[in-house]
Amino acid sequence: MAEREISQAVISRLPRYFRYLGDLKDQGVERISSQELSGIMNVTASQIRQDFNNFGGFGQQGYGYNVEYLYQEIGRLLGLDKTHHLIIIGAGNLGQALANYMNFARRGFIFTGIFDVNPGLYGHKIRGIEVRPMEELAEFVQKNNVDIAVLTIPKSEAIRVSEQLVTVGIKAIWNFAHVDLQVPGGVQVENVHLSDSLMKLSYMLERYEQENSGGD
């Protein structure tokens, strides 16, 4: 597959393609057309073809796409052909829920450490991983080849902690704190605001109710 600059809009759709192709692969489907994939994913066939053309295209006219090949290549683009070592900063409810989510390990994301500032949590184990104090962060990251940190801490602490993470050598931050982090160019960040998705759902519900209210 040829490497080229890919837009953020296309990148945002890659995980969904990967997920659906994985399901098709598990069902024993070997080939699929853009039209068939369109019907499954509720995305236009034209959009699918345009997205895949960003990678040089995979299909052949009248032949469709090789599901296994497409799945593997999109996985490679997403970096899923490698193992990533993660730590969680914040051992509260969200941090514990993420640590307990088994599907991450299947994708090559291995949680190796959990850190918090609450002494009452030190030594507590989550899926066999001991909660550690932040003072041990730098040494742990260096010894365990950690490249990704997950932030599940209050907004007020997020910027300071993100700066600390950059200092100790973290390469990417998955940020659930309610603030958009700004980090140096060599560090990748994905800001996740759970309430944004809920507000989007609220908008869709509101619009649907207005369109189907039966009023004048």
Distances in whole angstroms, Cα of residue 98 to Cα of each of 91, 101, 102, 176: 10, 5, 9, 11
Residues 91 and 127 in one domain: yes
Share of the chain above pLDDT 90, in %: 75
Share of the chain above pLDDT 70, in %: 94
Q: What is the domain count for the chain? A: 2
CB 216 within 8 A of CB 193: no
Reply yes or no on whether the pLDDT at 1 is more than 80.
no
The verdict on residue 200 lying in a domain is: no
**77, 112, 137 — which closes off a domain?**
77
The verdict on residue 208 lying in a domain is: no
Residues 38 and 134 in one domain: no
Beta strands in the chain (DSSP E): 31-32, 65-66, 84-89, 109-116, 125-126, 129-133, 148-151, 172-175, 188-191
Q: Which residues are within 8 A (CB) of 93 and not within 5 positions of it... i.e. 6 or more apart?
A: none
- 129 forms bridges with which residues in the sheet? 126
Tell me the pLDDT band of 79, cut-offs 50, 70 and 90.
very high
Would you say the pTM of this structure is higher than 0.95?
A: no
The pLDDT value recorded for residue 215 is 56
Domain assignment of residue 173, given as a range: 84-195
